[in-house]
């Protein structure tokens, strides 16, 4: 289980050969910068993108990756002519699974967005890789399967999500049984001080204008609705084996304290750093060691104010949804995640007001036939069902 995984593995050679799934996204590009900064013996051996093949080719040349995957079939076909002969080119979702379990890969950086990353995350967990996990949705959808596969194979799951990396780091100061609860920090997103009426009329541009983090579109919208925090509640449940009442959320607008653990004696241990994903990425690659960091450091000679405020559960009903998914478990995560992905897309296409995203997730969750112990096939079926149901609910 993840706690025991914090011990360094007994293997002889430390993991150093990296496959970056989703290398053209924000996390993927940051990972390449971190690996360049670390230098040998860390090296990129595999890359993947969905459609951004020009950037992928440039990344393959720069890193010397021996295998790349293009998951979109049409983009894969289009790019085959003229692809360099010294670089293997695989296509489709199977290609991604193949790369995640390839013998030459030690570390899989799972940075695909959404449930599309689930099968490759599971493949890496089954193959006993170090899983540097940025794709939180795969734990929301199939946390029980991914963690069970990791336990069986000996795969280490090291969170890249900044909050969970903070908890993972803070955890090294205590024992699992000494944890009272974890406190996830949330920036509050762009609508922290907006009224419900203002949020009702928020535009796509408003929602994409995040105050502290520079991220991809899907996660930025998730931050605006605070669905991102709901997904992170579920992610924490699986990474650290916690109950719903052991996972708290506090709003912290500066995004400097990335999360905290409260131990049973009342001590709170936090991890602080500027809001820059290169730190949690690097920690997941170098763990259990630390290396000179690539990201800017906190400036203690300048005044620094850290604020904390309770989260407004009425304005941000997503949070309650996160706790409910943890309490009920089973099929709930897969359904809420799929509904959210469809609703976010509809919002970005200006087909849905922002508050309707969470309302849609709630409606589809309540309409679904609960399964306490779904298999992988059940989860895939539920994911497809929830997407269809959400489109119906939106009326598109
Ligand atoms: Mg996060």
pLDDT at 168: 98
Q: How far is the CA of 96 from the centre of ligand 1 (A)?
A: 24
Preceding amide of 41 cis, omega within 30: yes
Q: Where are the domains of the chain?
A: 16-159, 161-275+293-314, 330-396
Q: Say how far apart CA 48 and CA 50 lie, in whole Å.
A: 7
The pLDDT tens digits of the residues spanning 184-240 come to: 999 998 999 899 889 999 999 999 988 888 888 999 999 999 999 999 999 999 999
User: Which of the two residues, 2 and 67, has the higher pLDDT score?
Assistant: 67
Q: How far is the CA of 274 from the centre of ligand 1 (A)?
A: 13
Tokens 């508050």, residue located: 355
Tokens 């920690």, residue located: 283
The DSSP secondary-structure symbol of 346 reads H
Tokens of 165: 């990396």
pLDDT at 1: 46
Q: How far is the CA of 107 from the centre of ligand 1 (A)?
A: 20
Q: Please say whether the beta carbons of 364 and 385 come within 8 A.
A: no
Taking the CA of residue 348 as centre, how many other CA atoms within 13 Å lie in the half-sphere pointing to its CB?
Answer: 15
The pLDDT tens digits of the residues spanning 99-108 come to: 999 999 999 9
pLDDT at 216: 86
Q: How far is the CA of 135 from the centre of ligand 1 (A)?
A: 10
The DSSP secondary-structure symbol of 246 reads G
Q: Please say whether the beta carbons of 100 and 19 come within 8 A.
A: yes
- From the list 152, 154, 150, the residue with the least C-alpha distance to 139 is 150
Q: If you average pLDDT over every residue of the chain, what do you get?
A: 94
pTM comes to: 0.94
The pLDDT tens digits of the residues spanning 116-168 come to: 999 999 999 999 999 999 999 999 999 999 999 999 999 999 999 999 999 99
The DSSP secondary-structure symbol of 350 reads T
Q: How far is the CA of 112 from the centre of ligand 1 (A)?
A: 15
Which stretch of DSSP H or E encloses residue 157? strand 156-159
Looking at domain 330-396, its CATH architecture is: Orthogonal Bundle (1.10)
pLDDT at 325: 98
Q: How far is the CA of 134 from the centre of ligand 1 (A)?
A: 9
Q: Report whether pLDDT(15) > 90.
A: no
- From the list 142, 321, 153, the residue with the least C-alpha distance to 235 is 142
Q: How far is the CA of 260 from the centre of ligand 1 (A)?
A: 13
Q: How far is the CA of 232 from the centre of ligand 1 (A)?
A: 7
Looking at domain 16-159, its CATH architecture is: 3-Layer(aba) Sandwich (3.40)
Average confidence (pLDDT) over 328-333: 98
Q: How far is the CA of 147 from the centre of ligand 1 (A)?
A: 19
Instruction: Kindly give the pairing relationship between strand 17-21 and strand 107-110.
Output: parallel
Percent of the chain at pLDDT > 70 equals 97
């Amino acid at each position: 289980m993840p706690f025991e995984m914090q011990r360094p593995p007994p293997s002889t050679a430390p993991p150093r050969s990296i496959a970056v799934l989703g290398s053209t996204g924000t996390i993927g590009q940051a990972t390449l910068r971190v690996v360049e900064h670390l230098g040998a013996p860390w090296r990129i051996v595999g890359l993947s993108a969905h459609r951004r093949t020009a950037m992928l080719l440039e990344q393959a040349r720069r890193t010397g990756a021996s295998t790349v995957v293009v998951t979109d079939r049409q983009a894969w076909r289009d790019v085959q002519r003229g692809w360099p002969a010294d670089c293997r080119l695989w296509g489709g979702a199977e290609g991604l699974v193949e790369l995640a379990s390839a013998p030459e890969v030690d570390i899989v950086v799972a940075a695909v967005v959404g449930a599309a990353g689930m099968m490759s995350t599971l493949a890496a967990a089954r193959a006993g890789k170090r899983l540097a996990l940025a794709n939180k949705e795969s734990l929301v959808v199939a946390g029980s399967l991914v963690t069970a596969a990791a336990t069986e194979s000996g795969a280490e799951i090291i969170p890249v999500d900044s909050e969970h990396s903070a908890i993972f780091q803070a955890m090294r100061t205590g024992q699992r049984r000494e944890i009272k609860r974890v406190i996830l920090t949330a920036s509050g997103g762009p609508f922290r001080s907006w009224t419900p009426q203002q949020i009702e009329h928020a535009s796509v541009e408003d929602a994409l204008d995040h105050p502290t983090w520079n991220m991809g579109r899907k996660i930025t919208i998730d931050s605006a609705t605070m669905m991102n925090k709901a997904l992170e509640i579920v992610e924490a449940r699986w990474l650290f084996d916690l109950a719903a009442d052991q996972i708290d959320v506090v709003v912290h607008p500066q995004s400097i304290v990335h999360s905290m653990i409260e131990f049973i004696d009342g001590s709170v241990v936090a991890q602080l750093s500027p809001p820059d994903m290169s730190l949690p990425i690097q920690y997941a690659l170098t763990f259990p060691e630390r290396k000179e960091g690539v990201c800017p450091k906190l400036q203690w000679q300048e005044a620094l104010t850290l604020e904390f405020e309770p989260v407004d559960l009425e304005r941000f009903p997503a949070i309650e949804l996160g706790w409910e998914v943890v309490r009920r478990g089973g099929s709930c995560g897969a359904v809420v995640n799929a509904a959210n992905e469809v609703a976010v897309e509809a919002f970005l296409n200006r087909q849905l007001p922002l508050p309707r995203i969470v309302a849609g997730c709630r409606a589809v969750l309540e309409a679904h036939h609960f399964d306490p112990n779904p298999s992988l096939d059940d989860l895939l079926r539920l994911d497809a069902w929830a997407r269809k149901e959400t489109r119906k609910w939106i009326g598109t």
